[in-house]
Structure 1
Amino acid sequence: MEMNLIMPLNSFITPTLSLVFITLLHIVMTTLPNATASSTVTTGRNETDHLALLAIKSKIVHDPQGVVSSWNESLHFCMWEGVACGRRHRRVITIHLPSRGLAGSLSPYVGNLSFLRVLNLSSNTLEGEIPPQLGHLFRLQILNLNNNSFEGEIPVNLSHCSNLRYLGVHDNKVVGKLSEEFGSLSQLTHLIIHGNHFAGKIPQFIGRLASLKYVSAASNHFTGSLPEALGQLKNLEVLAFGSNELSGTIHPSIYNLSLLTVLSLSGNHLHGTLSPSLGLMLPNLILLQLRGNKFTGPIPLSISNCTTLENLDLGENHFNGKLGTNFGGLQNLEDISLYMNNLGSGEPDEFSFIDSMANCSNLKALDLPANQFRGLLPDSVGNFSNQLSYLSLDVNFIHGKLPSAIGNLVNLEHLGLDNNRFTSTIPVTIGNLQNLQRAYLGINSFHGDIPESIGNLSLLTELYLGENRLLGNIPMSLGNCKKLLWLDLSQNNLSGTIPKQLWSISSLSISLNLSGNQLSGSLPSDVGHLKNLAELDISENWLSGEIPNSLASCTSLVNLYMEGNLFNGSISQSLSSLRGILNFDLSRNKLSGHIPRFLEHFSLKNLNLSFNNFEGEVPIEGVFANASAISVVGNIRLCGGIPKLQLPKCNVKESKKKKSSLMLILVISIVCTLLGVTMVVSFLFCWVKKKRNVQPSGILLRESFMKVSYEMLLKATDRFSSTNLIGVGSYGSVYKGILDPNETIVAVKVLNLQRRGASKSFMAECEALRNIRHRNLVKVITSCSSIDFQGNDFKALVYEFMINGSLESWLHPSLKSSNRENDQTHSLNLLQRINVAIDVLCALEYLQNHCQPPIIHCDLKPSNVLLDSDMVAHVGDFGLARFLQQLTNPNQSSSIAVKGTVGYAAPGKHCFSYTIHYCFFFIFIFFL
């Protein structure tokens, strides 16, 4: 018979049609050749089951194990895989096909298997609605549809299955409420509905299901409080309503369920205190799980009466007070989790409960972080079960030493002690924990060296020792920890170089954090071995040298922090391979060169290049287009960029291509032309000055020097106030002052006589200035040598104050001159630059040709050229000047060194002979 002719035999088909259908089947079977009477009778009894099974097969669209595809006519259906029949009537009583990878839906023809007692299709990928025809199976005892993708509501018709004992639909997509009709399932012992979308309140009818032993309804959307009716389920052994939206308190009636082995109400909004007699009324508890609620008060001491208890999970609540429970009698206890409460009293016997845990021979995990435990960790911590694999005491107030007995816990895999107040050294015995995988000892005050024995922990994957006071070198033995994924030694006082063994830990993939120490040396090329590393933080150390090209091999880097070191050189083009970086910080180093263009193509969230020596144009694409994502402050030679960066405009935009040879020729031609113009202008200027001279050059006009005392200079400089400090030299400091009675603005150089050679320098500089006496050349006012008010020698030189500061500040507008008293913009036009060059050349010519003995300046640079109010240039700072011996004594080669910071020589008149020698100076200031 063809499948498309099959119709379901259910209550919606009239008895007449059913009879016709059966009659037709009988006629067909009896007309088949060689058919026997016995086969005809058998067909009449079980062909319905045969056809129902074929209908179920037709709804399976994926059968990776070939289970239902083997259902064919070669075998009687009672012999099909996963199908069992009764011995007497040969009707299907069991379909057992769990975990077969079946996909599709459940055919409504399943309702025709009227003798079915067990239907187990759990752990497949069946979907669609649960067929309401299941309600016709009044013999059904077990319905297991767990771990599929069924949706919709549980059919109300299931309430007709009066023999149902096991109802399992956990981890599906079932919605709706539990219907009141289900209160008729008086034989039900297991209600397994967790991991769905049930909503509403827990129905009161649940109290009528007197046979219930197991209720698992976690991870749904039940609201309201725990109903009092639950207390009527005297046979209840498991009550699990975790991860719902329940509120209120635990109703006292629940404490009457003396057979309870599991009470799991975690992840709700329950509050109140626990009954002090909890352990006496629920003595058979194996699992007490109330995590993630709002319970307060102490943990009942009576829990010690729950001798079968294996798991105590009360974390994430507000339990407080002393943990006084005696755990000595709980020998089956495996897991204690009390994290994130307010437990702790500060009493001397704070940790007495640890002493009692020595008898917990099966204890595997003790989780107590984020509480208020204080005091010293007792040595009895080493008496825990040798099965202990997890110990966490993080985020408490434990102080003092870490007992060396911690080394007894040889099977420990997780040790959490961070964020406490330990003040001892890390015991060497930590090296005994050879099964340790995660060690968190950070945010304490551990001091001393990191023990070499830590290299014995070859299974370590995470080691956190950051934010302590550890000293000395990073132990080379850490290189033995070949499975490390995360290493944090930050914020300590570690010194020395980074051992090369550290760079050989190729397993490092989460983070290597060495920041905030005193590590020195270079970043070696071995860093390239960390190809899988996502974060490298070596900031705030004393590392130096160039950034190695091998860093480009660390292509998995997401965060790279190198700020606060002494790295120099440029950013290599090879780093363009680090395209996965999101956060890149190179600030506060000594890096130079141009900002590389390849950074425009990175998907950076933050880029910090501030306080380096970068120069040139700032890019404008990619991250550079977001002013909030980048920082380039403190790089005084940068220009361009987006307007929000407020950088000066670039005068000349560099071409993206190399300059052509034609451009090079043009530049050389311009330089030669300017050189010629300089020579001509210099000659004409000197010739005109000579003609206009109204005073014979041979006459030296002497000026009488002012007489000043220490008190006068003290008053003029406001007692040498730091606000008047305008410069610091090798042998002293220079202050701005105003001398009475003419209110002359002066620069006062005060010698630091504590410096070796300062007194000799003073005498030598006076000698030099004595030879520069022409009033158009020398701007020294006087010198002062006296005894100050403390009885110490005091020596100073007084010069005319140059209001327009140094040539350096005019050539580099971003530099602020401390001598300036106005806010005018620093800018020199072409004529001013030519005049400055001529003034300087004339001054140098005078020093070498018209001083006796001649003086060679030896330190000509823009910072030593000062400008007066008329923008006339004066050469200053004779710190490296030399006296030439008289030409009549050529055999003598000695010279007198004159060192100082302030001393001005104005332009002389005889300059042409030295124009060629110093014309390079004009070219220098012209192109700056």
Structure 2
Amino acid sequence: MRFLLVLQQWALIIIIFITTDALNNNETDHVALLAMKSKILEPFGGGALSSWNESSHFCNWEGVVCGKRHKRVTLIDLTSLGLSGTLSPHVGNLTFLRRLVLYNNTFHGEIPNEIGGLYRLKVLVLQTNSFQGRIPSSLSRCSSLVYLYIANNNLVGTIPEELSSLSMLKRISAYENNLTGAIPKSLGNITSLEVLSAAYNHFGGTIPNNLGQLKNLVELGLGGNQISGMIPSSLYNLSNLNTLSLSFNDLHGSLQPYIGNMFPHLKVLQLQINSFTGQLPNSIGNLTKAKTLAFSHNEFSGKLTVDFSKLVNLEILSLMYNNLGSGDFDEMHFLESLTNCSSLERLNTIMNQFGGVLPDSVGNLSSNMHFFALGGNQLQGMIPPTIGKLINLSLLGLFNNRFTGPIPSTIGKLQKLQRIVLHGNQLSGTIPDSIGNLSLVNLIDFSNNNLEGKIPSSFGNCQRLTSLTLQQNNLSGTIPKELFQVSSLSIVLDLSHNHLSGPLPSEIGELKSLVALDISNNNDLSGEIPSTISSCTSLESLFLQGNMLQGSIPMSMEFMRGLQIIDLSSNNLSGQIPTFLEKLSLINLNLSFNDFNGELPLHGAFANSSSVSVYGNDKLCGGIPSLQLPRCPVKKLNRNFFFSSKRIYAIVGASILGILIIISSLVFYLRKRKRESTSLDLLPKESFVQISYGELLIATDGFSSSNLIGAGGFGFVYRGVLDQIGDVAIKVLNLVNPGATRSFIAECKALKSIRHRNLIKIVTCCSSIDFQGNEFKALVYELMMNGNLEKWLHPSQDTSRPEFNLLQRLRVAIDVASALDYLHNQCELTVIHCDLKPSNILLDQQMVAHVGDFGLARLFYPEIGISHHSSSMGVLGTVGYAAPGMLTDNRTNPVFIFLLA
């Protein structure tokens, strides 16, 4: 009795102690949580842990769950809250904790050793963070641990041997870390283990034989390491496996012939990227639950005789990069058995030794098939038209085989196709027009075949196409303009080594996103390089060699600043090599075997003989010495004559006098005929073309700075291309300037009723509202390709222009005199320009001068005098400025003096 009484007293003391301890440690949990919070950083504007404060009991804090009886913390779940910082060692004081889940944050630092004090812990999820250091061996004291998730961190070192004492452990997920050493043999002692995932680390050694003791194992993932040796025979005893992934290692040897009979539950078998040899065992056909079979990148060989007909769940079969095949005519018979695999989505056998023909039964493969690749084999015969039944295909790869005959037109039925690769065969016939039905296709490669006929214009329907390669065929005819209107082309367009003829369509400029263009070695392509090519602003590589192109290199190519490689060799191009090529970041420029002449530039790519080639241009001279071109001829002058100041003054005076006499005679002649032949100089008074703001936006590529060609006091001038007109100059008024509107009105008034060959031609005056609701005013003129007179009289040092000789200057003077005579004496109302200077005289392609910029122009009414739009005329023209080389009086006789020095 006495003993029972003592026992009851001790029991009461223990109960009181436990209860008191629980109550006291309630505060311990509170302190531990606050200590954890102090180490955690929340994202800016966060607040996930804002509830962790004194205003409420910690059992009500976000992510915290307590037991109902003792109000102790049993769960902390802070999944995907964007948290960072470190895990406080105080976590070890939460002794009632059963689940700690910090998944998908950015915690760093080491996993604290104190976590080993959580003897009630069942679930530890630290996965997808940035934890560093070693896996603490103290985890072995968490004797209740069932799930250990530490994958996708930066952990180092080995897996502690001590973990083998965790007799309740079912899952170890440690993939994607930096763990090293060998897979511990002691893991074979954790007989409760169901999942061992240690892929994508740096484990070496061999697969421990005693892993075969893990009879409950359903997933074994050791891929992406440096494990060597053979698959231990004990592993074939793991009959409960549904996933066996040993890919990306250094394993070798052959597979056991009975492998397919040992894993009745296997769904995923991944053995790719190892060094396995031998035949694929026929027993693989008994893996009836299999969804993924990956044998690629090994050294499997021999005839494939597996019967896949029982694998009705198979989705992926990957055999690429092996030596499979025997050369037998019935080599591809295994495809017949695959027609029973109704779930098959991907079949990849590229880069093997398969021979024989592709059977018609290929059309009976799964309607779910979206990836079908048999390239890099020795298949022959025709591509069966039944392939058009695989209507869900997104990739068709039959490249580098020996297929003959035409491309079946049924390919046009594969309307979900995104990539079709048939290069490197012996296909013949024409490209079917049905190719235009592939509205989702982004890559087409028919290169290195024997295709003939014209390039179908239906390619223009493939508006998602980014890459088209048709090189090395026998295609002929002209290049359809529809092809250049596929604006999605952004990677490569390769039409080289065919027999294409005719000119390059001007629509080439619509390929604004294209990086590489190759139309070389067609021999019969002729005409000039279209100036519109300058709109291909993303172009980095341009190959036009081996054709019959002629004319000069378009000056517009100056705007193609992304060009790195240009090959124009073996054509009939002529003229001088433009100096703007010096400014491009070219790594290779080939201009060989053309008919270029004149002096070779010295800078940019021209300064490096390994970057430029100009062989076969006999009329070139100069350049850097290593190019071994002849010196350019120098005009010999009598030194004494040249340096005689008296003779210089005599030449200048005589020249000026001669010019004045010629101009005075011309003015007299013009006045005499002004009433008789005004119609000879007048152009028809055309009505203005109606052009919207949207059209101008498109014409200038959104008023891009790359199209900016000038700026003035009242606005900016852009180069543009309008569909109904062609090249134009667009003057956009800056309406913030108070004089801009008056300038707009003045110029429209002055130009709307006058037409003369030496006056700038206005296309339209555009006054509207832009897309943002703002007022928009612009003037559209014909584009003057040779810029203004100012730049010809006084070129900048970095601009190379042909010589502006005396005869050209005289012609310009005559043109301007003719224009002013017309404005002053032949218009219905006299027009006074008020701002005549070289920068306002523009030169067209033939160097004909045109007077422009009528923003300050005034109309002269005989009754009231000069018109104006404000209360005071103010000062007209360029204030404080007298145009060098040009003087004019009022509205009477123009006088021009072109300086000769």
Q: TM-score range by the shorter chain?
A: 0.5 to 0.7
> For the Cα contact (< 8 Å) 1:521–1:543, is it kept in 2?
yes
Residues 839-887 of structure 1, C-alpha deviations (whole Å, 9 max, x = no match): xxxxxxxxxxxxxxxxxxxxxxxxxxxxxxxxxxxxxxxxxxxxxxxxx
**Mapped partners of 1:571, 1:55: distance in 2:** 73
Matched to 2:271, the amino acid is L
Matched to 2:554, the amino acid is S
Say which SS state the counterpart of residue 474 (structure 2) adopts.
Answer: coil
Say which SS state the counterpart of residue 471 (structure 2) adopts.
Answer: coil
Question: Cα offset for 1:644?
Answer: 1.8
> For the Cα contact (< 8 Å) 1:95–1:119, is it kept in 2?
yes
**Mapped partners of 1:313, 1:545: distance in 2:** 54
The residue number in structure 1 matching 2:774 is none
**Mapped partners of 2:550, 2:205: distance in 1:** 66
The residue number in structure 1 matching 2:241 is 260
Q: Is 2:347 the counterpart of 1:366?
A: yes
The residue number in structure 2 matching 1:624 is 606
Say which SS state the counterpart of residue 72 (structure 1) adopts.
Answer: coil
The residue number in structure 2 matching 1:59 is 39
**Mapped partners of 2:47, 2:22: distance in 1:** 28
> For the Cα contact (< 8 Å) 2:23–2:70, is it kept in 1?
no
* CA RMSD between the two structures: 2.1
The residue number in structure 2 matching 1:86 is 67
**Mapped partners of 1:477, 1:566: distance in 2:** 27
Residues 399-436 of structure 1, C-alpha deviations (whole Å, 9 max, x = no match): 11010100000111100001111111011111110111
Question: Cα offset for 1:653?
Answer: 9.6
Question: Cα offset for 1:335?
Answer: 0.4
**Mapped partners of 1:45, 1:157: distance in 2:** 23
**Mapped partners of 1:353, 1:325: distance in 2:** 7
Deviates more, 1:614-623 or 1:241-250: 614-623
The residue number in structure 1 matching 2:782 is none
Aligned partner (choices 196, 203, 210) of residue 184 of structure 2:
203
Aligned partner (choices 592, 596, 610) of residue 614 of structure 1:
596
**Mapped partners of 2:338, 2:74: distance in 1:** 52
Residues 163-205 of structure 1, C-alpha deviations (whole Å, 9 max, x = no match): 1111111111100111222221221111111111111111111
Residues 577-605 of structure 1, C-alpha deviations (whole Å, 9 max, x = no match): 21212221111111112222222222222
Residues 236-275 of structure 1, C-alpha deviations (whole Å, 9 max, x = no match): 1111111111111111111111111111111111111000
Matched to 1:560, the amino acid is L
Deviates more, 1:280-289 or 1:600-609: 600-609
Matched to 1:417, the amino acid is L
**Mapped partners of 2:348, 2:270: distance in 1:** 14
Deviates more, 1:509-518 or 1:620-629: 620-629
TM-score by length of 2: 0.68
The residue number in structure 1 matching 2:464 is 483
**Mapped partners of 1:132, 1:642: distance in 2:** 71
Judged with a 3 Å threshold, the aligned counterparts in structure 2 of structure 1 residues 234 and 652 are, in CA distance, closer, same or farther, namely: farther
Say which SS state the counterpart of residue 550 (structure 2) adopts.
Answer: strand
Matched to 1:350, the amino acid is E
**Mapped partners of 1:372, 1:328: distance in 2:** 23
**Mapped partners of 1:409, 1:65: distance in 2:** 50
**Mapped partners of 1:58, 1:310: distance in 2:** 48
**Mapped partners of 1:58, 1:510: distance in 2:** 52
Q: Is 2:28 the counterpart of 1:48?
A: yes
> For the Cα contact (< 8 Å) 1:284–1:308, is it kept in 2?
yes
**Mapped partners of 1:124, 1:508: distance in 2:** 40
**Mapped partners of 2:229, 2:577: distance in 1:** 63
Question: Cα offset for 1:637?
Answer: 1.3
**Mapped partners of 1:611, 1:464: distance in 2:** 31
TM-score by length of 1: 0.66
Q: Is 2:624 the counterpart of 1:642?
A: yes
Say which SS state the counterpart of residue 306 (structure 2) adopts.
Answer: coil
Judged with a 3 Å threshold, the aligned counterparts in structure 2 of structure 1 residues 49 and 631 are, in CA distance, closer, same or farther, namely: same
Matched to 1:577, the amino acid is F
Residues 562-581 of structure 1, C-alpha deviations (whole Å, 9 max, x = no match): 11111111112211121212
Aligned partner (choices 420, 444, 458) of residue 401 of structure 2:
420
Map 1:776-925 → 2, pairs under 5 A: none
Matched to 1:440, the amino acid is V
The residue number in structure 2 matching 1:584 is 566
Matched to 2:431, the amino acid is I
Identity, % of aligned pairs?
Answer: 54
The residue number in structure 1 matching 2:547 is 565
The residue number in structure 2 matching 1:806 is none
The residue number in structure 2 matching 1:212 is 193
The residue number in structure 1 matching 2:6 is none
The residue number in structure 1 matching 2:498 is 517
**Mapped partners of 1:381, 1:627: distance in 2:** 55
Judged with a 3 Å threshold, the aligned counterparts in structure 2 of structure 1 residues 204 and 197 are, in CA distance, closer, same or farther, namely: same
Query: Which runs of 5 or more residues in structure 2 are unaligned?
Result: 1-16, 637-641, 652-901
The residue number in structure 1 matching 2:372 is 391
Aligned partner (choices 594, 598, 611) of residue 576 of structure 2:
594
> For the Cα contact (< 8 Å) 1:424–1:447, is it kept in 2?
yes
The residue number in structure 2 matching 1:407 is 388
Matched to 1:321, the amino acid is G
Question: Cα offset for 1:281?
Answer: 1.2
The residue number in structure 2 matching 1:574 is 556
The residue number in structure 1 matching 2:424 is 443
Residues 796-821 of structure 1, C-alpha deviations (whole Å, 9 max, x = no match): xxxxxxxxxxxxxxxxxxxxxxxxxx
Aligned partner (choices 273, 281, 284) of residue 262 of structure 2:
281
Q: Is 2:144 the counterpart of 1:160?
A: no
> For the Cα contact (< 8 Å) 1:425–1:446, is it kept in 2?
yes
Say which SS state the counterpart of residue 381 (structure 1) adopts.
Answer: helix
> For the Cα contact (< 8 Å) 1:263–1:289, is it kept in 2?
yes
The residue number in structure 2 matching 1:176 is 157
> For the Cα contact (< 8 Å) 2:330–2:357, is it kept in 1?
no
> For the Cα contact (< 8 Å) 1:479–1:505, is it kept in 2?
yes
Matched to 1:100, the amino acid is L
**Mapped partners of 1:348, 1:249: distance in 2:** 34
Residues 426-460 of structure 1, C-alpha deviations (whole Å, 9 max, x = no match): 11111110111100011111111111111111110
Matched to 1:497, the amino acid is T
Aligned partner (choices 306, 327, 330) of residue 311 of structure 2:
330
Residues 748-796 of structure 1, C-alpha deviations (whole Å, 9 max, x = no match): xxxxxxxxxxxxxxxxxxxxxxxxxxxxxxxxxxxxxxxxxxxxxxxxx
**Mapped partners of 2:373, 2:34: distance in 1:** 57
Residues 367-424 of structure 1, C-alpha deviations (whole Å, 9 max, x = no match): 1100001111000100011100000001111111010100000111100001111111
List structure 1 segments (4+ residues) > 4 angstroms apart after TM superposition.
Answer: 40-43
Residues 494-527 of structure 1, C-alpha deviations (whole Å, 9 max, x = no match): 1111111111110110111111111111112211
Say which SS state the counterpart of residue 356 (structure 2) adopts.
Answer: strand
Question: Cα offset for 1:617?
Answer: 2.1
Say which SS state the counterpart of residue 410 (structure 1) adopts.
Answer: coil
Number of residue pairs matched by the alignment: 624
The residue number in structure 1 matching 2:125 is 144
**Mapped partners of 2:25, 2:136: distance in 1:** 29
Question: Cα offset for 1:42?
Answer: 8.2
Question: If you compute each CA radius of gyration, which structure gives the higher value, 1 or 2?
Answer: 1
Aligned partner (choices 71, 81, 102) of residue 100 of structure 1:
81
Question: Cα offset for 1:634?
Answer: 0.7
> For the Cα contact (< 8 Å) 1:57–1:69, is it kept in 2?
no
**Mapped partners of 2:274, 2:599: distance in 1:** 59
**Mapped partners of 2:52, 2:201: distance in 1:** 38
The residue number in structure 1 matching 2:863 is none
Query: Which runs of 5 or more residues in structure 1 are unaligned?
Result: 1-22, 24-37, 655-659, 670-928
**Mapped partners of 2:378, 2:420: distance in 1:** 18
Matched to 1:94, the amino acid is L
**Mapped partners of 2:173, 2:553: distance in 1:** 63
Question: Cα offset for 1:609?
Answer: 0.9
Q: Is 2:304 the counterpart of 1:310?
A: no
> For the Cα contact (< 8 Å) 1:503–1:529, is it kept in 2?
yes
**Mapped partners of 2:39, 2:579: distance in 1:** 61
